[in-house]
Chains A and B, each alone.
Chain A
Amino acid sequence: MIEIRGLRKKFGSVEAVRDVSFTANDGTVVGLLGPNGAGKTTTLRMLSGLMIPDAGTIRVDNVDVLADPVGVQKHMGFLPDSRGLYPRLTPIEHIEYFGQLHGIDGGTLRARATNLMAQLDLNGVANRRVAGFSHGERTKVALARALIHQPRNVILDEPTNGLDVMSTRSVREMIRRLRQEGCCVLFSSHIMQEVSALCDRIVVIAQGVVTADGTPAELRKLTGQDNLEDAFVALSGLEVEVTS
């Protein structure tokens, strides 16, 4: 479970995140939806413990991220904005490296890695160096290594961004599987269809502020728009900007 309260972060004079609060429960998929530059990545980076907020609290499974970042990281799978792989290593080596850093090894590690690669259709390239991999293959390797320690909380920053249909499908299946297993899944996106296809709840964020929080149906009701995309446009304040 993830609880974020009153998060703020400033870079110089730019307030990237002004007031973000929301809760993501176990066994649900929460979508963090917002246009580019809304503060999604900054929010997630603070959640990962690598970026220190100017104000606000973040609790993951009742552990304060600021007080015990390592303790939180042990049970968190995080697919960051930068997928950064090692060009001279193979997918299996990537996955096993992160697994070992989490203290998993031997047969357990091998079995989990094989299982993840099968779920993400990576078996064909398992022993090939990742230099020259497609964007989709890279994302899937990054996702697999983020999940090797079977985290209870999974945070994905724009997981399907730039992926082809097949890769998108296997990533979506992975997200559904995680929800079934009772994980708390939080992912960010700027794509409406993505969010509506997967999420139990949507948190809309615009210019660093949460403008709406609810189920897809609630959001449609809130804005009076039948179409979720229209609801999104209304909530992110884009239309106002365009018309004014």
Chain B
Amino acid sequence: MNLTIDIIISGLINGSTYALLAIGFSLIFGVARIVNIAHTAFYMLAAYCIYVVTQKMGLNSVWAMLAAIVLVTLLGMITYKFLINPIREHESAVLIATIALAIIFQEILLNVFTGTYLSVPALIDGYFTILGVKVFYQQLLTFCAALLIMGLLWALLGKTRMGLAIRSTAQDREVANLMGINEARVAMMTMGISVGLAALTGAVVVPLTIVEPHMWLSPLIMMMAVVVLGGLGSLKGSFIGAYILGFAEALVVFLAPMGAFLKGSVALTVMILVLLLRPEGLFGVYFEEER
């Protein structure tokens, strides 16, 4: 029984993290066809930003979160403007540029903070017990924040004019442009939202993880698996795919022997099995081939 609750909690937390990351990644891919490998590097930057503000400057965690989100979003938009936008037409060049960007962030952090493992205190201390299992308030908070953010994003995309512009650009760039939507500005905004989501994820998840300069790699792989599983560009797919893989990972960690080593393998195998049955992912639509 305890094991079941452990699995559920761990699955929900993992799933929410992956969902937040994958939605941001999926959004910018859908709108601007940018595969942003540096997405989780922005997540890492937010985590470090919070570490600096709370531990080095001694300010409150709430300020730290705000600062992290604003700064990282700005940085994301600047890099989009000066690095990604000029080479957007070359798909492979964008891939390499974002990989290089992620490596640059990693190296800068490695030089500034060295490779030591850092940690950040929880926003709220303490825990409560359900059926004899400790649930930390921070875990509950992370989960609730993730749900809240996803709700807000859904409202933004579904109910506002800007959301409409983003969705129509994602469906067809040229027609959206003909309808009077400033495509370049929408792409810029989407990049901001996407990086902002990554920063937010970093901000709510950071107390539960270890902060170190290579922390971007493992969520990157899981995030990509989620996005491919759910279908590229589909937000609903990313959401559901994230929980599928989050629970798959939790089940393996708690049930299989040597699970910690195999968790990535099993989650990725799940992804490949689904792709064999549905090559476009669970909820993906094949984009009209752009010839």
Pairing of A with B: no
